[in-house]
A and B are shown apart, each in its own frame.
Chain A
Amino acid sequence: MELQNERRGASLVVRVSGRLDAVSTPAFEAHCQQALAQGERTLILDFGPLEYISSAGLRGVLTVAKSVDAAGGEFTLANARGLVREVLDISGFLRMFRLLDSLDTPAAQA
């Protein structure tokens, strides 16, 4: 798994690559919690280059989303495809969270 931050206006985009599994998820959670601790409030997870997410990864995403919510921020997913999108659908996450199909939309620039 690799994580890359990109600023878009008031939003912090965290691009997640590779595999979000039981082994890598703690590092993902720590990365996002650190961003929150540094004052970020609008978090977009860009899953474009993510090829795999397990229930451990979903738990990490949910934990981060709850933290963002508790901080009064806004949490959005973007660009999920293939198996990752299917897993988000199966698990009900597509009903819980907003999923952007592109970062080049007004919603992503807000």
Chain B
Amino acid sequence: MERLRLPAKLPSLTGFREFVDRAAVAAGAGPELLLRIELVLEELLVNHVLHAYGSGEGDSDVACFCRAPGYFCLEVVDEAAPFDPLGHAPPDLTLAAGDRPIGGLGIHMVRSLADEISYRREAGKNVITVCFLLAPAAKPD
């Protein structure tokens, strides 16, 4: 499993993206899926930058692996206080622009764009695993 650890700061996003792109392309991801994977990665990392460590500092840790042939997964890890992003209600998408709170969309997008997502607390770490089908099967009618 390939792994990269960098400070949980915005300038680290590019390094993480290049790392994940290389692994995803090697696994067989095409350009469209690559953008989806990048988007999910950004949402999870920005969450670390904005929320995980409060005003303190910490690292983000990202690992890439194929759980099965054609099934590419990312593990995104922080060492902050326990936080299960899947335990929060989705945002109200029916509000008009003026009534919309700014924010709360990131995890909703992750849930919508990844084929599988799970959270676990392990050895003082928050571990989010997201997986993508490299070649989605045709949807049955």
Contact = CB atoms under 8 A, between A and B. Distances in A.
Contacts of B109: 54-55, 87, 90-91
B98 interface: yes
Contacts of B42: 21-22, 54, 56
A69 interface: yes
A91 B93 contact: yes
Nearest to B93: A92
B5 interface: no
A8 interface: no
A23 B42 CA distance: 10
A95 interface: yes
Interface string A51-63: 1101110110011
B133 interface: no
Interface string B85-98: 00000010111111
Nearest to A89: B112
B32 A56 contact: no
A34 B61 CA distance: 38
Interface of A: 21-23, 51-52, 54-56, 58-59, 62-63, 65-66, 69, 82-83, 87, 90-92, 95-97
Contacts of B32: 82-83
A59 B32 CA distance: 23
24 contacts: A22-B10, A22-B46, A22-B49, A23-B13, A23-B14, A54-B106, A55-B106, A56-B42, A58-B105, A59-B103, A62-B102, A63-B102, A66-B97, A66-B98, A82-B32, A83-B35, A83-B36, A83-B39, A87-B109, A92-B94, A95-B93, A96-B96, A96-B100, A97-B97
Contacts of A87: 39, 109
A65 B97 contact: yes
B46 A62 contact: no
A54 B97 contact: no
A52 B94 CA distance: 23
Interface in B14-37: 14, 32, 35-36
A62 B100 contact: yes
